[in-house]
Amino acid sequence: MSPLPPVRIGLLGLGTVGGGTLTVLRRNAALIAARAGRRIEVVCASARDLGKSRALDLTGIELHADPHAVVDDPRIDILVELIGGLEPARELVLRALANGKHVVTANKALIALHGNEIFAAARSRGLMVAFEAAVAGGIPVIKVMREALAGNDIQWLAGIINGTCNFILSAMCDAGRDFSEVLAEAQRLGYAEADPSFDVDGIDAGHKLTILASLAFGIPLQFERVSVEGIRNISAEDVTYAKRLGYRIKHLGIARQQAHGIELRVHPALVPTRAPLANVNGVMNAVMVSGDAAGPVVLFGAGAGALPTASSVVADLVDVTRALTTDSENRVPHLAFQPDTMENLPTLDIGDIETAYYLRLMAADEPGVLADVTRILAALGISIEAIMQLDRAPDTAEVPVVILTQRVREAAMNQAITSLEALPTIRTPLHRIRVETLT
């Protein structure tokens, strides 16, 4: 029996992830061929600056400045899109599918915002779109949710899915430093962009949560329904007080199935120090998935970087290569559920979610103030778990007060905050962070 011909790859982007992908494919070529059943070869690639010096072996690869030349190359079987962003990535991926090419991408924004359209185009032509590297870099969370947990009713998932936010909050916790100082360090080290908004405002994590929730609950991709909050308002004081109370502050993406809908939210949260996610530090990522059969499963690893992300890209290439001779109707579905079983379940408004809260307020140092605070909380049915009044700062007439509440609907907490901020003895704004025990 003659060996199967190699699978030919067209690569869009020779940056960090593109270069890492080419390195892994060439360094482990024999091992990958043994696992995939045939060789995988990059035959052409595109890059914005072809004259740029790169520490890559580009032997035998046809290079183009125009990515359309790669997409339209009749030789390639699989297009690997690693240029990022929405356009021209969307147009190039759809064009590749129209040309009959399978697609592998690491582009979480593309999948979160245009995945429904892209997967429909792929299904209409019996093609595959693989996107393991779009969430959590080298952690195989998509494969685990789509395949290993296929027999489970997923109840909830929570993840540290943005390395920049995790680096900043870890450094703030370990050294008591301010957000702005640590952000500047993250930018110097290359962990944060010159404009860090995409990361620190929670948008990147929102894109990733959109994908994970679709895989978990069989709902369409719907980024517009995710409640997104970043970490700019987390202070060194909040981090210190949280530690005193037995918590660490983490930036989480949370999706939970409730009786009346799905929670989709990204925000900072106090996490008990004993919880696995509380101990994920630096730029590392972790995702915790709770299934009815498997129970809680924690996946931990590098969420970004050339080789970790390339590991996921190459894993997708192996999967697509293995499936090239499989009937398209019998492949693993793009979003874990068969397309005709996907349900547009309601998603809960953030005001309808229920969680515990950390409140930090600056109160006038005079009698009756705490009584006013507790009266307002009690009137709205909000029970206090713990309260801590700290020493008055020098040269002020105010004292910091930290309150941990029991679980309550966010709408009630918002009403309480409005009433508390209306008190003449409370300085505004009051600081609120949600508390997640991850159970």
Give the integer Cα–Cα distance in Å for 241 and 172.
Answer: 12
Reported as a single tens digit per residue, the pLDDT across 238-278 is 999 999 999 999 999 999 999 899 999 999 999 999 999 99
Q: Going by DSSP bridges, is the β-strand pair 354-364/247-258 parallel, antiparallel, or unpaired?
A: unpaired
Residue 9 burial by Cβ neighbours in a 10 Å radius (0-12, 13-18, 19+): buried
Task: Return the active site residues.
Answer: 208
DSSP 360-417: EEEEESSTTHHHHHHHHHHHTT--EEEEEEPPPPTT-SEEEEEEEE--EEHHHHHHHH
CA neighbor of 171 nearest in space, from 236, 117, 229:
236
Same fold, 141-302 and 351-435: no
**CA angle, 212 then 215 then 217, to 5°:** 105
Give the integer Cα–Cα distance in Å for 115 and 81.
Answer: 14
Q: Is the pLDDT of residue 164 over 60?
A: yes
Q: What is the mean pLDDT of the chain?
A: 93
Give the integer Cα–Cα distance in Å for 113 and 421.
Answer: 37
Split at pLDDT 50, 70, 90, the class of 338 is: confident
Look up the CATH architecture of domain 351-435. 2-Layer Sandwich (3.30)
Stretch (H or E) spanning 27? helix 16-27
Q: CATH topology for 141-302?
A: Dihydrodipicolinate Reductase; domain 2 (3.30.360)
Q: Is the pLDDT of residue 363 over 70?
A: yes
Q: Is the pLDDT of residue 2 over 60?
A: no
Q: CATH topology for 7-137+306-341?
A: Rossmann fold (3.40.50)
Give the integer Cα–Cα distance in Å for 150 and 204.
Answer: 26
Q: Percentage of the chain surpassing pLDDT 70?
A: 97
Domain spans of the chain?
7-137+306-341, 141-302, 351-435
The strand ranges marked E within 49-123 are: 62-64, 78-81, 102-105
Residue 4 burial by Cβ neighbours in a 10 Å radius (0-12, 13-18, 19+): middle
Give the integer Cα–Cα distance in Å for 408 and 316.
Answer: 42
Reported as a single tens digit per residue, the pLDDT across 285-307 is 999 999 999 999 999 999 888 89
What's the pLDDT score for residue 336? 62
Q: Is the pLDDT of residue 329 over 70?
A: no
Reported as a single tens digit per residue, the pLDDT across 171-229 is 999 988 999 999 999 999 888 888 999 999 999 999 999 999 999 999 999 999 999 99
User: 24 to each of 17, 28, 255, 315, how far by Cα in Å?
Assistant: 10, 6, 33, 11
What's the pLDDT score for residue 25? 96
What would the mean pLDDT of 325-349 be, rounded to a whole number? 76
Give the integer Cα–Cα distance in Å for 67 and 155.
Answer: 42
Beta bridge partners of 399: 363
What's the pLDDT score for residue 330? 63
What's the pLDDT score for residue 281? 95
Stretch (H or E) spanning 217? helix 203-217
What's the pLDDT score for residue 426? 92
What would the mean pLDDT of 88-93 be, rounded to a whole number? 98
Q: Is the pLDDT of residue 350 over 60?
A: yes
Contact (Cβ atoms closer than 8 angstroms) between residue 267 and residue 353? no
What's the pLDDT score for residue 301? 94
What's the pLDDT score for residue 176? 86
User: 124 to each of 119, 210, 376, how far by Cα in Å?
Assistant: 9, 23, 57
What's the pLDDT score for residue 397? 79
Q: Is the pLDDT of residue 1 over 50?
A: no
Neighbours of 421 (CB within 10 A): 13
CA neighbor of 380 nearest in space, from 408, 358, 352, 402:
408
* C-beta contacts of 62-68 below 8 A and 24+ residues apart: 67/12, 67/92, 68/92, 68/95
